Amino acid sequence: MIDDPPGDGPRRSPALARPYAWTEGRTAPAVEIAVEALVETTADGRAEAAYQTSSALAEVLELCVRPRSLMEIAALLALPLGVVRVLVSDLMQDYLVIVRDTLSDTATWDERHDLMERVLHGLRDL
């Protein structure tokens, strides 16, 4: 069921299915993805969105036409963060999305602090 909040797109009501049903029983992603990492659908992903058998995968592809953080995807789809990590990891392995880290391992304290501020502001906006 899709509700239309006064935001920038559809938002799902919480699913009644158990989280492992969305991920075919898997609880850990093949690739670790940070909550603030930006996910964007590739050209192949945009073409593939119409053919996805899983509605959750198709919804992730549609949402990520515009880059979105992993946390934002979970909030917009009303799915647990762990489920979204597994779904995005699957899409990433199929080259249907790209995931960009927001910080490198050599980031300064100021860069990390700035990121935390942006994440907090993003959470307040959700």
pLDDT at 9 over 80: no
pLDDT-derived band of residue 54, with 50, 70 and 90 as boundaries? low
Residue 94: pLDDT band with limits 50, 70, 90: very high
- List the strands of the sheet with 68-69, edge to edge: 68-69, 38-41, 97-100
What local confidence, expressed as pLDDT, does residue 45 receive? 93
DSSP class of residue 53? Answer: S
DSSP 94: T
pLDDT digits (tens, 9 = 90+) for 98-120: 999 877 778 788 888 887 787 77
Q: Among 4-8, 68-72, 83-87, 93-97, which is the least confidently predicted range?
A: 4-8
DSSP state of 5: -
